[in-house]
Amino acid sequence: MDIRYFNQVEIPIGKITLNGELFIPLKAQAIIVFSHGSGSSRFSKRNQMVAKNLHENNFGTLLFDLLTEEEDTNYSNRFDIDLLSKRLAGAATWLGRFPAAKNCRIGFFGASTGAASALRVAAIMPEVFAVISRGGRPDLAISELPKVHAPTLFIVGSLDYDVIQLNQKALQQLTCEKKLEIIPGATHLFEEQGTMEKVCVLATLWFKKYLEPAEILKKEVC
């Protein structure tokens, strides 16, 4: 695969700096920013698996830590959706100004509590063109959901009963293009064999549909 950019990056946001990894294939037309859940980081194996699959389909990815190491020692910070949302918005703004990301559309992939911050930011940033929530808690962004204009996909495991109900209620609040996909046999963390592979397929199809420029899609149809 030809690569336009691949490196560890430092993202300045206010008085702090967050660490991340930016990967942009040469032919990338869009970059997916990951917003991980509580207690996770840019090293999340599940998010890295999704990212690798996206790379193979010519999508760029930004995996980064929403908290500094010191901040992460304070357990309450992991559930501070306001703080996490500000960090995600700051990272998306930084990415939009990064030279190698020029002219690339931006999408969000949020997991667990990270999905709430992804939806909150999508509600205020028109630069976000698509959102995916994996095992997410969109109910933590319930008041902002009607303001989300980016096409949004909820992915939930069939055995994650409480989260299914929360996602169903949240889906009713969305006025944008929306869909709920339930993965058979999966629990909250999608640890069961083959379930993350299904997440990867759904994520790729959603981002291809809503992030690739219309002229590219038209050529593929022709």
Q: CA 66, CA 81: separation in Å to the nearest integer?
A: 11
Over residues 183-203, the pLDDT tens digits come to: 999 999 999 999 999 999 999
Kindly state the average pLDDT of the residues 139-150.
97
**Is it the case that residue 45 has pLDDT exceeding 80?**
yes
pLDDT score recorded for residue 102 = 93
What are the angstrom distances between the C-alpha of 8 and each of 12, 140, 207?
A: 13, 31, 24
The type of residue at 188 is H
The type of residue at 6 is F
- Between 213 and 110, where is the model more confident? 110
User: Residue 22 — pLDDT band, cuts 50, 70, 90?
Assistant: very high
Cα end-to-end span (Å), the chain: 25
Kindly state the average pLDDT of the residues 153-165.
98
**Nearest in space to 50 (alpha carbons), one of 221, 195, 186:** 195
Given a contact cutoff of 8 angstroms between Cβ atoms, the answer to whether 40 and 111 are in contact is yes
**Nearest in space to 134 (alpha carbons), one of 172, 95, 106, 108:** 108
**Is it the case that residue 217 has pLDDT exceeding 50?**
no
User: Residue 79 — pLDDT band, cuts 50, 70, 90?
Assistant: confident
Sign of CA dihedral 78, 70, 64, 84: positive
Question: Position of tokens 């046999």?
Answer: 185
- Between 69 and 117, where is the model more confident? 117
**Is it the case that residue 218 has pLDDT exceeding 60?**
no
**Please, which residues have CB within 8 angstroms of residue 15's CB and are 6 or more apart in sequence?**
none
Q: CA 22, CA 20: separation in Å to the nearest integer?
A: 7
Domains and their CATH numbers in the chain:
3-221 (3.40.50.1820)
pLDDT score recorded for residue 78 = 83
**Is it the case that residue 65 has pLDDT exceeding 60?**
yes
The top-scoring range by mean pLDDT among 68-72, 73-77, 208-212 is: 208-212
The separation between CA 26 and the C-alpha centre of its own chain, rounded to angstroms, equals 21
DSSP letter for 219, please.
H
Q: CA 73, CA 36: separation in Å to the nearest integer?
A: 16
Helix H segments across 57-109? 69-72, 81-97
pLDDT score recorded for residue 214 = 58
The residue count for the chain: 222
**Nearest in space to 11 (alpha carbons), one of 104, 101, 111:** 101
Q: What angle, rounded to 10 degrees, do the helices at 113-122 and 81-97 form? A: 60
